[in-house]
Amino acid sequence: MMLTWKDVIHFSVNGNPEPDKRVEKTEQEWKEILTPEQFRVTRKKGTEAPHSGALCTSHDAGKYECVCCGTPLFDSTIKFESGTGWPSFTQPIKENAIKYHKDTSFGMIRVEVMCNTCDGHLGHIFPDGPEPSGLRYCINSESMQLEKEESNG
C-alpha cells in the first residue's frame, strides 16, 4: 500500500496505526545508549544542521533503522536527493513504522514524523516529494542508522 498526503493527515488527526511493538525507556536510559547529539535530536525534537548529516549523501543499499530502538523505518530504494540537506524518502518501510503528529512550533503548521515503536523524533513530512506518492519524509541523519545489505562478491 502506498501512503498519500491524505493518509498522513488522517493519521495525524485521528490517530496512528498500532506499532508491531513498543519500546519505552526513561530519559536517563536513553542518555546512556545515545550520543549527546542523537539524544538532542531524537528525544528533545532537535534538528541537525542541513548538509551536516552522515547519511545525507549515502547511497549504500540497506535499511534505515531508528537509532534509538533499531526498528526498520525506510529502505534505501526509496531514498532520493531532495536538495534540502537532509536524507529524504518517499515511503516508510511499513505503514505502521512511522507515527505522525501535528507540529505547530516555530509559528507554522507541519507534520512531525516519529518512530512509532519508541516515539523518537525523526523529522517532518511534506507533500512536495516525487511521484507517485508525492511525499517527502525529511529525516535527520542522527535519528537513523543504516543497516547495509551484504554484497555478494
Question: Would the pLDDT of 104 be above 80?
Answer: yes
- Separation of alpha carbons 90 and 77, rounded Å: 10
Q: Is 69 annotated as a binding residue?
A: yes
Q: Which of 138, 139, 144, 146 is catalytic?
A: 138
CATH code, domain carrying 134: 2.170.150.20
Residue 103 belongs to a domain: yes
**118 among annotated binding-site residues:** yes
**29-82 pLDDT tens trace:** 999 999 999 999 999 999 999 999 999 988 899 999 999 999 999 999 999 999
Decide: helix, strand or coil at residue 17: coil
81 domain-assigned: yes
Residue-number span of the structural domain to which 125 is assigned: 1-17+62-147
Does 72 map to a domain?
A: yes
In a domain? residue 24: no
pTM of the model: 0.94
In the annotation, is 138 catalytic?
yes
Q: Is residue 69 domain-resident?
A: yes
68 is in an annotated binding site: no
The answer, yes or no, to whether residue 153 has pLDDT greater than 70, is: no
User: Could you tell me if residue 73 is inside a domain?
Assistant: yes
**Is 12 domain-assigned?**
yes
Q: Report the distance separating Cα 50 and Cα 11, nearest Å.
A: 27
